[in-house]
């Protein structure tokens, strides 16, 4: 006749009872009633076919079989405690790779601090980042785990992807320190018709936001130069080719450059796209991102992940 395995919960209850030597105290520690504990111990005793304990004037005294089963119950307790510790410290066990496609502004302004802190806590996870513009990042959506863009447009596949706005800032105009406009608080967009402008390539989130704002005002700003990447834009400004647009999320573009906000305000939103059922490594990275942006000493706000 096939014998069914012993219910581990019976051994856990017995280990507690045998350890304290009193059924009433064991019931209190287990948050059970004493009759419930007695019933479970009778089940275990019937299962093994021999007495687990003898009653004494102080409580109970385990039999040799009871002592052996107590040890097994305590081994189960230890295994469960070890499993709980592993879950609490699971970041040390996480492995794998998180593939990220990010717009230039996200890759330069937002991600370095995030990735540095993430690697401190999860050194076994590899991070692969590809810096492109916002339009290209969206086109790579199905190939990557996280997509960082510069808008708040909904994800193309609502069923499997979600989007969160991480940072809400604005776009400014980048100029050399010493430029005649440096003393002004804001630069009117219409005034930019007077100067040479250096633009990012088509598909850039910053460029698309500025074009949209100009269209709303009936402005048509000329494209005198076009560069791909933020570093090239800054160097072109330093070399005197003209002024350029940049994100006010980072108001310190260098010791020799100045970034002033525009009038009217041109919104700039840094967002992330992520799958509704992301893997644990990706969710861990998103959580650290939330922690960084919710830092009370910071000046930015973030919306949490669910």
Condensed to tens digits (0 to 9), the pLDDT of residues 49-69 reads 999 999 998 899 999 999 999
Q: What CATH number corresponds to the domain at position 26?
A: 1.10.10.10
**Angle at alpha carbon of residue 264, lines to 260 and 268, rounded to 5°:** 70
Q: What CATH number corresponds to the domain at position 98?
A: 3.40.190.10
What residue has token string 């074009």?
A: 211
Q: Which of residues 88, 111, 138 is at a domain's end?
A: 88
Per-residue pLDDT, averaged over 141-148, amounts to 93
111 and 236 together in one domain:
no
Lowest-pLDDT choice from 91-100, 231-240, 244-253: 91-100
218 and 102 together in one domain:
no
139 and 258 together in one domain:
no
63 vs 301, higher pLDDT:
63
224 and 276 together in one domain:
no
Lowest-pLDDT choice from 130-134, 165-169, 294-298: 294-298
Per-residue pLDDT, averaged over 122-145, amounts to 92
Give the whole-angstrom CA distance, residue 226 versus residue 211. 14
Per-residue pLDDT, averaged over 194-219, amounts to 95
Per-residue pLDDT, averaged over 157-175, amounts to 87
Helix (H) or strand (E) holding 247: strand 243-247
Domain count, the chain: 3
pLDDT at 246: 94
138 and 278 together in one domain:
yes
Condensed to tens digits (0 to 9), the pLDDT of residues 242-297 reads 999 999 987 677 789 999 999 999 999 999 999 888 888 898 899 888 888 876 44
pLDDT at 75: 93
Q: How far is CA 14 from each of CA 36, 47, 75, 172, rounded to the nearest angstrom?
A: 12, 13, 12, 70
**What pTM was computed for the model?**
0.67
pLDDT at 16: 93
Q: Is residue 299 part of a domain?
A: no
83 and 134 together in one domain:
no
What residue has token string 């500025």?
A: 210
Q: Is residue 137 part of a domain?
A: yes
Q: How far is CA 198 from each of CA 116, 174, 194, 229, 260, rounded to the nearest angstrom?
A: 32, 10, 13, 11, 15
């Amino acid at each position: 006749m096939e014998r069914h395995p012993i219910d581990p919960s019976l051994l856990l209850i017995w280990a507690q009872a045998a350890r304290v030597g009193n059924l009433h105290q064991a019931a209190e520690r287990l948050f059970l009633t004493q009759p419930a504990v007695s019933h479970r111990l009778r089940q275990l005793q019937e299962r093994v076919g021999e007495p687990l304990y003898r009653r004494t004037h102080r409580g109970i005294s385990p039999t040799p079989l009871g002592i052996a089963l107590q040890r097994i119950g305590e081994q189960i307790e230890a295994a469960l405690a070890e499993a709980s510790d592993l879950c609490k410290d699971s970041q040390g066990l996480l492995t794998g790779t998180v593939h990220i496609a990010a717009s230039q502004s996200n890759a330069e302004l937002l991600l370095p601090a995030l990735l540095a802190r993430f690697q401190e806590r999860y050194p076994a996870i590899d991070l692969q980042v590809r810096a492109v513009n916002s339009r290209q990042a969206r086109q790579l959506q199905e190939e990557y785990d996280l997509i960082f863009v510069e808008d708040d447009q909904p994800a193309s596949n609502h069923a499997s992807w979600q989007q969160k706005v991480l940072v809400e800032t604005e776009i400014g105009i980048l100029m050399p320190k010493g430029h005649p406009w440096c003393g002004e608080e804001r630069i009117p967009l219409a005034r930019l018709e007077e100067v040479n402008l250096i633009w990012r390539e088509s598909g850039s989130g910053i460029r698309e936001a500025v074009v949209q704002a100009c269209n709303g005002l009936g402005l048509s700003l000329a494209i005198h130069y076009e560069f791909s990447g933020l570093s090239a834009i800054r160097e072109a400004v330093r070399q005197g080719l003209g002024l350029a647009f940049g994100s006010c999320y980072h108001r310190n573009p260098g010791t020799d450059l100045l970034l002033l906000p525009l009038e009217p305000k041109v919104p700039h939103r840094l967002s992330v796209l992520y799958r509704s059922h992301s893997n644990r490594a990706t969710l861990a990275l998103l959580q650290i991102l939330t922690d960084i942006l919710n830092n009370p000493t910071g000046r930015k706000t973030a919306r949490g992940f669910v």
